[in-house]
Amino acid sequence: MRNRVSIHDRVKKVIQIFCGFLLMGGILVNFSDIIARNIAGRSIPWAQQITVWCVIMVSFLVMGLLIKDGTHISVEFIYAKLTGISKKIMTFIHSLVIAFVSCFLLIGGISLVISIYDRGTQRGMGTWQAPLWIVYLACMVIGLAIAAVYGIYMLIRAFKDFAK
């Protein structure tokens, strides 16, 4: 019998590999900057910005996966002591908050990207000249969209569980 892989597992694997490459790229750029600064006496002007953006992109992209897997920060010591209906209520409230906050932040992120694009802000940050709207779209909107999808999924699952 063939082992079936869910869409979530495939997306998760792609995001994990992409984030691994992003982190490795950030580390290599930072390492190269340190070597250049200590051996040649000159820093790479854009190295710090690339490293920071790699870490920010990874943080936002992984956020949705952590929500889906339940490995995000939570108040576990209270939740572990709950049983029965109180645990179902807490799970529903928790899922409702995550879904609401994720969707709210996603809408805000989309508004920010549209605002930056409409203003024609094409300049990049410092020496890295990628348009800001592309940077924010890549690191914020995509990550928040993943978080919103999983937040809504958790809310639906919690509602079904609560209705039982």
- The model's pLDDT over 49-71, given as tens digits with 9 standing for 90+, comes to 788 778 878 877 777 777 666 65
Report yes or no on 101 lying in a domain: yes
Per the structure, the complete domain to which residue 83 belongs is given by 7-163
Among 137, 142, 143, residue whose Cα is nearest residue 117? 137
Report yes or no on 52 lying in a domain: yes
Please check the confidence at residue 1 and state whether its pLDDT lies above 50. Answer: no
Report yes or no on 2 lying in a domain: no
Please check the confidence at residue 18 and state whether its pLDDT lies above 60. Answer: yes
pLDDT value of residue 105 = 84
Here the contacts of 17-25 (C-beta below 8 Å, separation 24 or greater) are 18/61, 19/57, 19/58, 19/61, 19/62, 22/54, 22/57, 22/58, 23/54, 23/55, 23/58, 25/50, 25/54
Q: How confident is the model at residue 153 (pLDDT cuts 50, 70, 90)?
A: confident
Tens of pLDDT, residue by residue over 105-150, are 888 888 888 887 787 765 655 566 667 777 777 777 888 888 888 8
Among 67, 77, 61, residue whose Cα is nearest residue 18? 61
Cβ neighbours of residue 95 under 8 Å, at least 6 residues apart? 151, 154, 155, 157, 158, 159
Report yes or no on 120 lying in a domain: yes
Greater model confidence, 138 or 102: 102
Report yes or no on 1 lying in a domain: no
CA distance 17 to 15: 5
Please check the confidence at residue 82 and state whether its pLDDT lies above 80. Answer: no
Q: How confident is the model at residue 2 (pLDDT cuts 50, 70, 90)?
A: low
- The total number of structural domains that make up the chain: 1
Average model confidence (pLDDT) across the chain: 77
Whose structure tokens read 């600064």? 37
